[in-house]
């Protein structure tokens, strides 16, 4: 009797776990809606009810991680209710952090290969390719990166799984189930849907424009030809399914009127935007350095300093030259508004302004600024920070470590025998390997870690609040897992490894010295035979 109870108990536990994960998705979906609308009594009620159910299921089914997060969200919602619905910057930040934790609770299936049920808060990716072996290989690749990818045997199987659960993305070969059947399958799936499910189409051969048009009309977001590699698919999946748990927009409000500043702050907070208010414009540069806003709202007329003068001072600092400045004033003279715009402003809003208009303008300007800034500080191939910005982040981290007396580690990685990969398989394959490692690092490291492409096949990771021994354990785990990935290639799949050197910051050490120590450690790892991580604690460090 006991033997038969084991499998039944496992199935019951899986069922319970699925209930909790389903409810976690409800909370995340509700938070996504809040992110794109204005915070109202109804949105508060819906989010509160979804969180209460998550806590109830987590308690009933003994899911402690979900329960702790649900309690954190509930406590913050109580604070908002006690503040009569006023949403403060700290409330937004706390809720956003909890949602990020919730979104990560089940993402890394590869971390728990022994579990029968691989939980994921993301919807699955359905893969339909004519070559089942190729489909299974792609799914394995995606699973390495924490994506729940499922292979479909044929169009009938595809329809069955669609009835059970809609996917985040579909990967379909144009000839899945017969010539042109993949596109027709996608068309069937999209019928009656107000918003199309994204599809990534694949064809072994180059296709004509009518085929690509049909694919686009069937929800095609990308069209791959000849080869289909996991790194490219994963990049697109990440882009299409990115959960709205990015850091909230940050807005610095500079206005000498406390009442007006408080009103602007409340309006923006209700839209899920984090704010910081400055009543004295003379302290603007210190506030900018401390808060690092995505956008500045600036009053035109303030005692001792008018808005255009302050905008000119801000624009003289290279670090803030691209931060949007929106003037908010009762000034109705169009000529004066245009003059102000010519003095470093990006927009001019006239008081009084409707709340939804202000929120929409800030969101649009802020999102565009983030996108442009990302292009300036990020590497185009990998999306990681570029060399210059990585060093700036390391410098900032050293300053914080010195100020707060907290640990900091810096790691440098180098792909082993990369020239051999380029010479044997060609530069496109080399680029795929670089993108693959970049994506793997983003999946496996914390949001607080800063990952940069240092140059060529070399990467750098700034790891705040991390001791050298802990960094060693994390990177060593990543090294082993990355070495296990098979990259599709001819005549056979390719595996790659990397070497890494880690250095821990010590009191008085500057960024350059810390980078030098990590570089020396990387040299030791390469010299010792590659495919290893080197970290050698030392009390002797270069002084800045």
Residue pair 407/467 in contact (Cβ under 8 Å)? The answer is yes
3-class DSSP state for residue 459? strand
Residue owning tokens 């938070």:
31
Residue owning tokens 């048009």:
213
Instruction: Classify residue 538 as left (phi > 0), alpha (psi -120 to 50) or beta.
Output: beta
pLDDT of residue 1: 42
Closest CA to 356 of 272, 249, 267, 248: 267
Quick one: fold of 387-534? Alpha-Beta Plaits (3.30.70)
pLDDT of residue 540: 42
Task: Name beta bridge partners: 378.
Answer: 385
Residues of the chain with pLDDT under 70: 1-17, 35-37, 85, 104-122, 146, 241-246, 331-333, 337, 340, 342, 538-544
Residue pair 296/347 in contact (Cβ under 8 Å)? The answer is no
Of the options 3.40.50.2300, 3.30.70.270, 3.60.20.10, 3.40.630.30, the CATH number for the domain spanning 250-376 = 3.40.50.2300
Q: pTM of the prediction?
A: 0.58
pLDDT of residue 542: 41
CATH of domain 125-241: 3.40.50.2300
3-class DSSP state for residue 351? coil
Task: Name beta bridge partners: 224.
Answer: 202
Upstream peptide bond of 349 is cis (omega within 30 degrees of 0): no
Residue owning tokens 């792909």:
415
pLDDT of residue 471: 94
Which long-range CB contacts under 8 A does 63-70 form with residues at least 24 apart? 63/16, 63/17, 63/20, 65/105, 66/20, 66/24, 66/102, 66/105, 69/98, 69/101, 69/102, 69/105, 70/27
Q: Domain ranges in the chain?
A: 14-105, 125-241, 250-376, 387-534
pLDDT of residue 513: 94
pLDDT of residue 242: 59
Q: What angle do CA 397, 399, 402 make, to 5 degrees?
A: 110
Q: Would you say the CATH fold of 387-534 matches that of 125-241?
A: no
pLDDT of residue 514: 95
pLDDT of residue 243: 47
């Amino acid at each position: 009797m006991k033997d038969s109870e084991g499998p039944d108990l496992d199935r019951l536990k899986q069922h319970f776990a699925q209930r909790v994960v389903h409810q976690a998705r409800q909370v995340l979906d509700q938070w996504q809606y809040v992110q794109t609308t204005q915070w109202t009594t109804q949105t508060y009620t819906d989010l509160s009810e979804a969180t209460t159910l998550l806590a109830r299921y987590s308690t009933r089914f003994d899911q402690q991680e979900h329960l702790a997060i649900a309690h954190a969200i509930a406590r913050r919602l109580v604070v908002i209710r006690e503040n009569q619905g006023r949403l403060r910057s700290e409330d937004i930040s706390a809720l956003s952090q909890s949602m990020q934790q919730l979104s990560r609770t089940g993402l890394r299936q590869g971390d728990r290969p022994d579990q029968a049920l691989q939980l994921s808060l993301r919807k699955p990716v359905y893969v339909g390719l004519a070559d089942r072996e190729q489909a299974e290989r792609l799914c394995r690749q995606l699973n390495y990166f924490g994506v729940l990818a499922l292979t479909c045997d044929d169009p009938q199987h595809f329809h069955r799984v669609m009835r059970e659960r809609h996917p985040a993305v579909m990967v379909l070969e144009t000839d899945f189930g017969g010539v042109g059947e993949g596109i027709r399958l996608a068309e069937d799936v999209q019928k009656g849907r107000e918003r199309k499910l994204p599809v990534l189409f694949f064809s072994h051969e180059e296709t004509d424009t009518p085929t690509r048009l049909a694919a686009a009309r069937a929800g095609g977001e990308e069209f791959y030809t000849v080869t289909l590699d996991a790194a490219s698919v994963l990049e697109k999946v990440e882009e299409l399914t990115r959960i709205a748990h990015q850091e909230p927009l940050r807005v610095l409000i500079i206005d000498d009127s406390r009442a007006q500043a408080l009103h602007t702050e409340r309006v923006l907070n209700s839209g899920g935007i984090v704010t910081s208010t400055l009543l004295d414009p003379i302290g603007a540069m210190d506030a900018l350095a401390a808060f690092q806003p995505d956008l500045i709202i600036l009053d035109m007329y303030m005692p001792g300093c008018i808005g255009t003068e302050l905008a000119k001072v801000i624009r003289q600092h290279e670090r803030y030259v691209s931060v949007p400045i929106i003037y908010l004033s009762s000034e109705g003279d169009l000529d004066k508004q245009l003059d102000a715009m010519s003095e470093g402003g990006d927009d001019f809003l006239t008081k009084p302004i409707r709340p939804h208009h202000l929120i929409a303008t800030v969101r649009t300007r802020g999102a565009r600024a983030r996108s442009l800034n990302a292009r300036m500080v990020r590497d185009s191939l990998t999306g990681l920070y570029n060399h210059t910005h990585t060093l700036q982040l390391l410098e900032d981290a050293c300053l914080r470590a010195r100020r707060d007396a907290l640990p900091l580690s810096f790691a440098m990685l180098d792909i082993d025998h990369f020239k051999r990969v380029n010479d044997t398989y060609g530069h496109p394959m080399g680029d795929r390997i670089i993108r693959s490692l970049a994506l793997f690092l983003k999946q496996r490291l914390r949001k607080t870690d800063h990952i940069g492409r240092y140059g060529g096949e070399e990467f750098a990771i700034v790891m705040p609040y991390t001791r050298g021994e802990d960094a060693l354990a994390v990177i060593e785990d990543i090294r082993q897992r990355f070495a296990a990935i098979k990259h599709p290639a001819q005549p056979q799949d390719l595996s790659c490894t990397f070497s890494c050197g880690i250095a821990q910051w010590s009191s008085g050490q500057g960024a350059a010295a810390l980078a030098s120590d990590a570089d020396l450690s990387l040299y030791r790892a390469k010299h010792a035979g590659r495919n290893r991580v080197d970290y050698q604690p030392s009390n002797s460090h270069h002084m800045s």
